[in-house]
Structure 1
Amino acid sequence: MTDTNRKVIITCAVTGSAHVPSMSEYLPFNPADIEAQAIEAAQAGAAILHLHARDPDDGRPTPSPEVFRQFVPAIAAQTDAVINISTGGSTRMTLEERLAYARIAKPEMCSLNMGSMNFSLHPIAARMPSWRFDWEKAYVEGMEDMIFRNTFRDIKNILTEFRDYGTRFEFECYDVGHLYNLAYFVDIGLVKPPFFIQSVVGILGGIGADPENLNVMRATADRLFGRDRYQFSVLGAGRHQMSLVTMGAIMGGNVRVGLEDSVYLSKGVKAKTNAEQVRKIRRILDELSFEIATPADARDMLGLKGRDNVSL
């Protein structure tokens, strides 16, 4: 039975690195727009803000700490939301580049992909009528021959280093095997509860966006970890966003939305801001009688160290 008395964490992934500006004129990529959209999303109800950086001139993903510094401290100064810095970056970045700003910021939370994988949006290239910037077409088409790397050693080194910072993780699990990878790190003592498992469905290269697959991910996590030791969350890619995250909430989980995951608000209608998606899922959750978690609630549920202990 669904517990409607529990609190649901809304995460908002503001810009990401997979979508390119030509996919939506509303995708934020300069620091001022990322800042404004992140703050509005937090005001709309997002307790966690998942952040990437992009080149201010043409929107390409960048690992530059200097660019992160142009918007992350301002977001932190104007909202109490949990700041979650990506360690995924993009498939074009080295591991050292992907970790550069997180090492400086030592945030409350980072994202962490739980394995190496094919990760691609390349079929979208054939449907694009035009490109806004000259780097985009090669970037999207090139995903067909790219691998996102996170080996066991990579993950071990990240967990070991960031344990010293007191940073906890949004464990991004794109398939069932990633849950078993997480279980391995639990077994060797590098990960301790409460875990925050982000079940990512609908990315080409990962588990498909079938509702049955959410049951598989949830049941597998329950079996590996025990339901009382972790927080489950759902990320539905593209057109699957709202239906699958709603299903995830009904299954006892939390939700993630944002223009990183889908540039649409509904069929054929682009989201003009991240906050539009946050407000939509909040309305759905309200109608289902769920209580929305505040940033303080999220910190308590996930065992976070608190804003005072970061270097944003």
Structure 2
Amino acid sequence: MAKQRTIITCAVTGAIHTPTMSDALPYTPQDIAAQAVAAAEAGASILHLHARRPHDGGVTIDPDAFAAFLPTISQATDAVINISTGGSLTNTIEERITPALRFSPEMCSMNMGSMNFSFHPLARRYDTWKFDWERDYVAGSDHNIFRNTFADIENAATQLAQHNIKFEHECYDVGHLYNLRFCMDIGLFKAPVFIQFIFGILGGIGPEVDNLIFMKRTADRLFGNDYRWSVLGAGGVQMPLATAASQMGGNVRVGLEDSLSISRGKLAESNAQQVAKIRRIIEELGCEVASPAEAREILGLKGADKVLF
């Protein structure tokens, strides 16, 4: 009997954590590229990418910022590139899909609903900050609604359809699964879809294993055999939930976007360290890690030769 092939996604930098929180968090193009390549070498077959301002680590969705590292990564590794269509809690969907329209990656993330998305409690952990923008950005996140209305989702799906992009449908609560089912029913997305169950973000579903089972059962009922799935656990639940998902037949996502730790109370040294740890766990528990070629086959991707970077 063939062993299960588990896809590891690595989310390299994201838009939540700031430079003060970890010296390992990459924000220059050189560091983003270097950590992405190292993560791929450690076993990640998908690299989920955001951009940062190189002078102070702030979040940016400027396509030129992506252009500073995408070619380097694609030349150094065969990993699948996944560009975020989130990236900012304050920009419109038109602005957030601009990098994807320019670079036509194999994959993009897609939040399946609007939500309160907040990380303001992190502001209380630090007395001093490396850069002036950080504290207000973190503390003020309780004012934000991460907007992805049905109109926004349709807009993004329609504009990106010509690029044959596979979406990582990010579902932060059970209602997002129903949103995705509706969008499939009206023809926005074709099966098989790739769903990222997300746990532990303030504003979304909690990180209990019971909730993982509930989300999986709901997805089974809504999508049958027409989906593939993965799990993202935020913060300290990253490794426990990824381990559970791998044993339930799912795929996993790790990376400094989602958690700065390698174990409870200990900061990770790099994205590659997190990838290496979950790979070791997966393999020791009897599964195998999917190569980029196998990930492309499992998810039905268009291929690296059809991107524009």
Alpha-carbon distance between aligned partners in 2 of 1:209 and 1:132, rounded to the nearest angstrom: 30
Task: Say yes or no: does 1:268 pair with 2:273.
Answer: no
1:48 aligned residue: 46
The 3-state SS of whatever aligns with 2:196 is: strand
1:128 aligned residue: 126
Contact 1:174 1:199 in 2 (8 A): yes
AA at the equivalent of 1:262: S
2:251 aligned residue: 254
Identity of aligned residues (%): 59
2:197 aligned residue: 199
AA at the equivalent of 1:118: N
Alpha-carbon distance between aligned partners in 2 of 1:263 and 1:183, rounded to the nearest angstrom: 33
CA root-mean-square deviation: 1.0
- The alpha carbon displacement at 1:4 in A equals 7.5
Contact 1:84 1:109 in 2 (8 A): yes
Contact 2:16 2:119 in 1 (8 A): yes
Task: Say yes or no: does 1:113 pair with 2:111.
Answer: yes
Alpha-carbon distance between aligned partners in 1 of 2:289 and 2:34, rounded to the nearest angstrom: 22
AA at the equivalent of 1:53: A
1:234 aligned residue: 231
Contact 1:47 1:294 in 2 (8 A): yes
The 3-state SS of whatever aligns with 2:131 is: coil
Contact 1:7 1:290 in 2 (8 A): yes
- The alpha carbon displacement at 1:69 in A equals 0.5
AA at the equivalent of 2:290: A
Alpha-carbon distance between aligned partners in 1 of 2:212 and 2:245, rounded to the nearest angstrom: 7
Contact 1:198 1:235 in 2 (8 A): yes
- The alpha carbon displacement at 1:74 in A equals 0.7
- The alpha carbon displacement at 1:97 in A equals 2.2
Larger mean CA deviation between 79-88 and 265-274 belongs to: 265-274
Contact 1:118 1:205 in 2 (8 A): yes
AA at the equivalent of 2:154: K
* Residue of structure 1 aligned with 2:207, choices 202, 209, 213: 209
Task: Say yes or no: does 1:299 pair with 2:270.
Answer: no
Task: Say yes or no: does 1:282 pair with 2:282.
Answer: no
1:245 aligned residue: 242
1:224 aligned residue: 222
AA at the equivalent of 2:248: M
The 3-state SS of whatever aligns with 1:234 is: strand
Task: Say yes or no: does 1:168 pair with 2:166.
Answer: yes
1:81 aligned residue: 79
How many residues get paired? 309
5+ long unaligned stretches in structure 2: none
Contact 2:170 2:195 in 1 (8 A): yes
* Residue of structure 2 aligned with 1:144, choices 120, 123, 142: 142
Task: Say yes or no: does 1:308 pair with 2:305.
Answer: yes
The 3-state SS of whatever aligns with 1:88 is: coil
Alpha-carbon distance between aligned partners in 1 of 2:155 and 2:141, rounded to the nearest angstrom: 26
2:65 aligned residue: 67
Alpha-carbon distance between aligned partners in 2 of 1:271 and 1:141, rounded to the nearest angstrom: 24
Contact 1:4 1:288 in 2 (8 A): no
